[in-house]
Structure 1
Amino acid sequence: MQTTKRWNVDVVVSEESEGDSARTWAEVGLATDDGTALRGHGMARKHPTDMDVPEIGEELAVSRALSDLSRQLRQVAAADINDYSGLPWRPT
């Protein structure tokens, strides 16, 4: 038996600039067919002396949001392992 599923991650990025500094926020969302819905958040700041390259802030903020989402998904998996096996999950 072979099964294929597609999970889509929605990414929203916003930036706020004030003077020479800027902040970029990212929110990523994952919703699966079984009803699991998670949201990860990330933020990046541009130092006033840094060059103005918005893509760098976007990349950092999105990577941090994806990392947050990954952590949450591991927690869901650990809880599922515990529920189904009765044994706590131990990362290897």
Structure 2
Amino acid sequence: MPEITREQVEHLARLAHIQMSEEELAQMPGELEEILAAVEDVRAVATADVEPTSHPIALHNVFREDVPTGMLTQEQALDQAPDAEDGQFKVPAILDGE
């Protein structure tokens, strides 16, 4: 794997509009090389017979069917409301004149 240079890090930082200190510019090539080495390790294991996945285990829908039960009538829903009008909850206006 080719070595990442400070100049390459400076170029990437400019492209990403990231300001980096001198210390960060000196440290980043080594860190990027470690990341690329880890990616290379994964690439070595990923063969044509391994199907790409986004999760290590298969996911399935864990939600139950949406079956409405035990609904309130309009009168029951409005029974405890502080204020109601024409079969609806009445709330203070929050928009001026709209």
TM-score between the two structures when normalised by the length of structure 1: 0.32
Greater helix percent: which structure?
Answer: 2
Larger Rg: 2
